[in-house]
Structure 1
Amino acid sequence: MTSFLESSNPFNAYNKQMYRDALDFAECEKQLHFLTDSSMVLPFIDASAKMPSGILKLNHIAYGDYFECLNINNQAEDMHIQGKYCYLSVPSIQNLTMPLLYKLMEMPNFSIAELTNSEGFVSDLMETIEIKDTSLISVRLGMCIPKVCTLKQVGDYITSLVRVPKVEYIEGACRLPGDKMFTTSDYVAFGVFGMLFLLTFLSTSFDLYNRFIKKSRSKHVLLSSLSVYTNTKRLLNFESSQFTIDCVDGIRSLSMLWVIYGHTYVFQILSPAHNILDLMQWTMLFTSTWINTAPMVVDTFFMLSGLFCVYVLPNKMSPLRFIKSIHIFYSYRFLRTLPILGTAVLLQASIFHWITDGPDWDRMAYCVEACRTRWWATLLHIQNYIRPAGVCLLQSWYLTVDTQLYFVSPFVIIFLLISSTAAWCALTITFIASLAALAYYAAYYEYPSVLNGLWQTQNFADYYINFYMNTPTRASPFVVGMMFGYILWVHREKGLQLSKKFVTICWTISFVALAYLYLTIYMMVQLPYKFTYYDLFFNVVMRAIWAAIVGWIVLACKHGYGGLLNWFLSLPMWKLPSRVSYGVYMIHLQVILISTSGAVQTRYFTEMNTARRKGVLGPMMIV
């Protein structure tokens, strides 16, 4: 995902002119000579990183002290000495090979001489695999240097004073105090949110005045449409009709929490963790497999979307009537999702950029700049095909794909309104086509069925663009949802009578299929990974199987065959989380990204620490 983020230019989110104006070669030489014999050099040394510990645990980052560096501001003689935080990457001297992670724990005894001969050490020590991104095995160090200098100037000056081995390094980005620019996006964001706050305040005041002082309801409904009082009552009003599927509230809420927790663990890997090796080994445990299934849980939402786009159709609607009202079908979906999506885009393009800062803030800056330049592609739901490497909101790919599937669904829905035979022919053909598209992409690119295989064999950006957010490859659970939605729609009024034997068989198949998915994913995450036809087969069918399991749960619970599971999923406590799940989904990754991008030191992974972070993030998302 890091390489995916790098498709945007984060430096456009900063004041590049400030960086250029700060550089002064002659002044740099003067300040370096002065600092050589002055105690003022101590804050620079103290704020700069030292070689990180835990490298064998794959800790390759040492930040130093970001804020101490930027706070350096001294006057000496006729010089204004300020700190500038930069990072550099020291590439590994291994020849584009990297040891398999699981072999590191089987390390034999070795001598210092063997260790210094790194190429021979690695080849004798363990199996190796080719990697495509050498930055994965680089050591990143945060350095504090004078504001007027470049890293190269400082490096050349140090080597001229001290005889040290010449180390090759790659210069990274630098940061200065106050380098975040106030742009058009910020003016728009503060203007829009300020106006919304004002209108909300006025609308609430008007509503409360009419209700509690005049003791009468106003005829001007529009004037109280933004009232916090009225909208909160509507939000907490959970009236149900005979057509309501109550179990969906529990399914949607639990799936949302599952996705949040999964992203929390993923960003533990992508963010600065002190012991990534321990984390990677933890993800391969049987008890941790539920985390590896989190990407598949997103298919729950695709299934539910396909289900409801059919289930909500009016009874006895003719194909001609549906075609005439197609503009309502499209506009309802677009306008229903636009407010929260637009709010999330505006927050990402402006407000989130100012919340905090840190040595890894470039991660957030990538997303900020992407939203400032490509907001239109996100709002029009075409970002997965128009320069997909620069997605504005990383998680909004789901909404884009789901909206595209929703917009093409009428080509199938028309057949559902003709006859049962035409309906099942259309659904079957569409389902087979979705599996064929999935099989083609998975086979052509040899993509693994689980994400763990990607860390070794693939570029994550290619996988994300060509497979993960490609609409044809994500269509199968949506089509499965349409199948179950059609069954529910046909039996919406008269009910569905199933024999006890049939229900028992379906529940047995569902539990067996669930166990199959869990066990297969557990086996797939075990290293080393190698592309096989079975992996291809599993890649093709796993999402459809998952969608079918969830679809059966919805069908059984709706028609009285869910038992205790239906009771649990239909509890009133799920209704509020379910109702706000869309808003939570569109904002949760930004909260995680703010936390990881603003980190000033690496975190030590333990299951308890991550669970504690989940315990904070989960409820905070709901609130």
Structure 2
Amino acid sequence: MFLPAVLFLSAAHILSRLLYLDDFPNLYPFDRDLHERVLDEEMCQRQLYHMMFQDAGILTQFVDAGARTPKGILNGNLRDMGNYHQCLSIRQNALDMTFEGKYCLINVPLNQEFDIPSLEWPIFDTNTLKIDGYLELLEQNELKYSQLRNALSIGTNILDSTSRLGNDTTTIFRNLELKLAICIPKVCTTHEAINSIINVTSYGFVYEDDMCRLPNDKHWVAGDYVAIVLFSIIGFLILVSTSYDLYHLFYLKRSSDQMHLLRLFSAYTNMAYLLRSSSKPGTLECLDGIRAIAIIWVILGHTFAVIPSVVANFFDMAEWVQKVQNIWVTGADLTVDTFFMLSGLLVVYISYVKFTPKSLLMNLHKFYLGRLLRMFPILAIVILFEASLYNRISDGGFWYIAAGNVHTCRAFWWTTLLHIQNFVNPHQPCIIVTWYLAIDAQLHLISPLVLFWLLRGSKRSSWSALIIGLTISLLVATLYIFLVDTNDNYAHYYVNILTRSPPFFVGMIIGYILRMYRNKKVKISRVIAAFFTLVCIGMTYLMLYLNYLNGQPDWGSQTTSNLINAFTRAIWAASVGWIIFVCVNGYGGPINWFLCLEIWKIPARVSYGMYLVHFSMMFAYYSSAFQNIYFTVPSTLFQFVGFLSLTIILAILVTALIEFPIAMLLKPLLDIKPPQQKPLIKDSREISDEQNNIPPLASRGGKVNEVFEPDENENSEKNVDKSK
């Protein structure tokens, strides 16, 4: 096992150094060839001359749709996005020319010195102009450049002073640049258009082209046609299956159970089953509350994590994030470890139903396929949509952000489906939050090394395997964190299996304990149970606080920081695990009542779908913004409520219409005859995946909680990571 692992990690490391998005220019979400084809230097000069000297009305349209000096530079607003839709809607005919708008972004470094002299405009005969106010427009342009010069001068002064950001202000501003939108004729380059007004390069003014957009520049690719055909087929199956189901139920007045295949895609039956309110006796009901709260917390954290890409008052938000009272948002990344813990818990708890040591070894392929194939349908559908039609659902000046996701999915869809993106392309993932699924799949890959000993039935061998597994995971994580000195915290720590594995092994211990006491009455003093529950709740708050402190600049020593990174996630998982234990065994009190509320059942059942769709939806929303968004906590919470509501709706649809029927189709391939022992699952048709908090259509009488694990639920984060 060790040699293949070393070879795999080495190959993945080499690939991560060789693969870049620039290696896939044909997969770019915008038609680069179109942008090259429309350029015409001679026509550009004619149109610029006509606008400048013969038709100020057309010039006004281009100037009005372009950028102004960013408002709030001192508060972190370094962008002015102009008016994207107004620019691209320009279409004017004059003489034998057609003037059409092209929207471009340029980057202007703050760290530059130049001297813009007073602009000397030629004297025009106003009688030849179509607009008498043309000279006033020139004066406005001169004022505009003066304002730009003053703004950059202000930026230069800031470099020589200190501010609320501390002593690193100079370094910060020297790396900053203004992002400005300009609207120019589509036949021109930015250099031709800008220099027609003022020869900025002769004055030492430096800028870089970022990107340009044209009307209808989203070209069709093969993935678009594949998506249309596949989604049409799925829609047709849903229509036929639902019609067949409703015909039998409401017209013939009899059940259609005898024709299971024809009703697999029935929206009526699948939705009714998914939205049921009943719960089965013997289920771990408290997991519903934990899972639902965790995914909601993930979405909340990602809402605050994504908005900086379009925020107008960045420094205000940065100050808000650094306040300790806001760890209810900044600590959301620890929620990921809740799902890793649940993953380990359920793989142990359910494996006792399905396997003996011998059957585990003989059906190892089904053990792996059972996890991967049940994750596959929604993941594949979301990836296909992101790589194709997602690029067409909206547009705007910020759409390059969402288009970046489209590009990465077109280039690296395969690493996401193979669950290796955290090794091969950690900084360019297809669907940012799927890093969690990759690590979870990798942890399932090694879990039989522990499961085999647990299934043998010996307490000594079981506890030895669990303790050794947890010890090795903690030791490897600690050594890795102490020995690997890197500034790339995301790739080497946040999405790394070595640092993320301890909560999974903690969960395996919790799952084993729950399985041991499943049919036994656990006797604990209620005072002791309440005391340790309060201690564990306090530990979760402490872990949040330590995680907050560890994110502060210049806090503590590197050794302290490394210890926090190494152990906080395992302690968090153990604390949540204790709460699960007392709730399952009747000592949870009001906590158990709260976690078992009916309100959590639907979000828990569709949490996997929620996890996969929420981040892309956020990117689409913010990428469609007209201008920068001013950050306030109430407005962001309002957006969060909207994201959460729409996420639940979309997750219900993909779960009921895609996950359920495909899970039933795959069931015959993955069926494993359970060992002769008291079953945890009553119905032989029950589809219960140790990671699936999505109950399949055939799960009618099972006792195991239906859980399909989402993560971070990053996202994230993104990251929610981010990218989460």
Please name the residue that 2:50 is paired with.
34
Is contact 1:381–1:399 with CA below 8 Å preserved after alignment? Answer: yes
Counterpart of 2:227 in 1: which secondary structure? helix
Is contact 2:21–2:407 with CA below 8 Å preserved after alignment? Answer: no
Deviates most, 194-203 or 338-347: 338-347
Is contact 2:103–2:214 with CA below 8 Å preserved after alignment? Answer: yes
Q: Counterpart of 1:302 in structure 2: which amino acid?
A: F
Offset from partner CA, 1:264-307 (integer Å, 9 cap, x none): 001122x1111011111111223211111101111111110110
1:404 aligns with 2:442: yes
1:83 aligns with 2:101: yes
Is contact 1:363–1:597 with CA below 8 Å preserved after alignment? Answer: yes
Deviates most, 23-32 or 562-571: 23-32
Shift of 1:321: 2.3
Shift of 1:505: 4.1
Please name the residue that 2:34 is paired with.
18
Which of 62, 65, 68 aligns to 2:80? It is 62
Counterpart of 1:23 in 2: which secondary structure? coil
Shift of 1:177: 0.3
Offset from partner CA, 1:30-63 (integer Å, 9 cap, x none): 1111111232100111111011111111101100
Offset from partner CA, 1:245-271 (integer Å, 9 cap, x none): 0001011111111000100001122x1
> Alpha carbons of 1:187 and 1:314: their partners in 2 closer, same or farther (altered >3 Å)?
same
Q: Counterpart of 1:582 in structure 2: which amino acid?
A: Y
TM-score, normalisation: structure 1: 0.89
Shift of 1:318: 3.4
Shift of 1:112: 12
Please name the residue that 2:238 is paired with.
200
Offset from partner CA, 1:11-48 (integer Å, 9 cap, x none): 71111110010111111111111111232100111111
Please name the residue that 2:584 is paired with.
558
Shift of 1:123: 6.5
Please name the residue that 2:196 is paired with.
157
Please name the residue that 2:65 is paired with.
47
Is contact 1:435–1:476 with CA below 8 Å preserved after alignment? Answer: yes
Which of 484, 493, 503 aligns to 1:477? It is 503
Shift of 1:598: 1.2
Shift of 1:328: 2.4
Deviates most, 240-249 or 312-321: 312-321
Which of 256, 261, 267 aligns to 2:295? It is 256
Offset from partner CA, 1:515-557 (integer Å, 9 cap, x none): 3223323433444456521111111111111111111111110
> Alpha carbons of 1:463 and 1:524: their partners in 2 closer, same or farther (altered >3 Å)?
closer
1:369 aligns with 2:407: yes
Shift of 1:439: 2.3
CA distance in 2, matches of 1:301, 1:48: 47
CA distance in 2, matches of 1:267, 1:488: 38
CA distance in 2, matches of 1:112, 1:229: 60
Shift of 1:446: 4.7
Deviates most, 139-148 or 438-447: 438-447
Deviates most, 233-242 or 205-214: 233-242
Please name the residue that 1:228 is paired with.
267
Which of 638, 663, 679 aligns to 1:612? It is 638
> Alpha carbons of 1:287 and 1:223: their partners in 2 closer, same or farther (altered >3 Å)?
same
Is contact 2:360–2:452 with CA below 8 Å preserved after alignment? Answer: yes
Please name the residue that 1:100 is paired with.
none
CA distance in 1, matches of 2:315, 2:485: 25
CA distance in 1, matches of 2:431, 2:151: 48
Is contact 1:8–1:370 with CA below 8 Å preserved after alignment? Answer: no
> Alpha carbons of 1:88 and 1:133: their partners in 2 closer, same or farther (altered >3 Å)?
farther
Counterpart of 2:86 in 1: which secondary structure? helix
Please name the residue that 2:513 is paired with.
487
Shift of 1:120: 6.4
Shift of 1:445: 4.5
Shift of 1:359: 1.2
1:437 aligns with 2:476: yes
Counterpart of 1:293 in 2: which secondary structure? helix
Please name the residue that 1:581 is paired with.
607
Which of 344, 350, 358 aligns to 1:312? It is 350
CA distance in 2, matches of 1:128, 1:499: 55
Q: Counterpart of 1:519 in structure 2: which amino acid?
A: Y
> Alpha carbons of 1:497 and 1:43: their partners in 2 closer, same or farther (altered >3 Å)?
same
TM-score, normalisation: structure 2: 0.77
Is contact 1:114–1:121 with CA below 8 Å preserved after alignment? Answer: no
CA distance in 2, matches of 1:309, 1:59: 48
> Alpha carbons of 1:520 and 1:163: their partners in 2 closer, same or farther (altered >3 Å)?
closer
Is contact 2:298–2:333 with CA below 8 Å preserved after alignment? Answer: yes
Counterpart of 1:384 in 2: which secondary structure? helix
Q: Counterpart of 2:248 in structure 1: which amino acid?
A: N
Give unmatched runs, 5+ long, in structure 1.
96-110, 448-460
Q: Counterpart of 2:94 in structure 1: which amino acid?
A: A
> Alpha carbons of 1:114 and 1:316: their partners in 2 closer, same or farther (altered >3 Å)?
closer
Is contact 1:300–1:547 with CA below 8 Å preserved after alignment? Answer: yes
1:597 aligns with 2:636: no
1:541 aligns with 2:580: no
Is contact 1:246–1:570 with CA below 8 Å preserved after alignment? Answer: yes
Shift of 1:375: 1.8
Q: Counterpart of 2:626 in structure 1: which amino acid?
A: V
Shift of 1:113: 13
CA distance in 2, matches of 1:386, 1:356: 30
Counterpart of 2:168 in 1: which secondary structure? strand
1:180 aligns with 2:180: no
Q: Counterpart of 2:329 in structure 1: which amino acid?
A: I
Q: Counterpart of 1:567 in structure 2: which amino acid?
A: W
Counterpart of 1:412 in 2: which secondary structure? helix
Counterpart of 1:149 in 2: which secondary structure? coil
Shift of 1:617: 1.1
CA distance in 2, matches of 1:575, 1:372: 35
CA distance in 1, matches of 2:169, 2:445: 42
CA distance in 1, matches of 2:468, 2:622: 44
Which of 151, 155, 179 aligns to 1:140? It is 179
Please name the residue that 1:267 is paired with.
306
Is contact 1:8–1:366 with CA below 8 Å preserved after alignment? Answer: no
Is contact 1:87–1:143 with CA below 8 Å preserved after alignment? Answer: yes
Counterparts of residues 459-470 of structure 1 (less than 5 Å): 462-470=488-496
> Alpha carbons of 1:8 and 1:513: their partners in 2 closer, same or farther (altered >3 Å)?
farther
CA distance in 1, matches of 2:208, 2:88: 22
Shift of 1:430: 1.8
Counterpart of 2:524 in 1: which secondary structure? coil
Q: Counterpart of 1:233 in structure 2: which amino acid?
A: A
CA distance in 1, matches of 2:221, 2:266: 31
Which of 340, 365, 369 aligns to 1:302? It is 340
CA distance in 1, matches of 2:435, 2:635: 29
Counterpart of 1:142 in 2: which secondary structure? strand
Q: Counterpart of 1:30 in structure 2: which amino acid?
A: R
Is contact 1:189–1:350 with CA below 8 Å preserved after alignment? Answer: yes
Shift of 1:164: 8.6
Offset from partner CA, 1:360-398 (integer Å, 9 cap, x none): 211111111222232222122122223333311111111
RMSD: 2.7
Aligned residues with identical type, % of pairs:
36
1:498 aligns with 2:524: yes
> Alpha carbons of 1:351 and 1:335: their partners in 2 closer, same or farther (altered >3 Å)?
same
Q: Counterpart of 1:32 in structure 2: which amino acid?
A: L
Shift of 1:9: 6.3
Counterpart of 1:40 in 2: which secondary structure? helix
Counterpart of 1:237 in 2: which secondary structure? coil
1:335 aligns with 2:373: yes
CA distance in 2, matches of 1:354, 1:595: 13
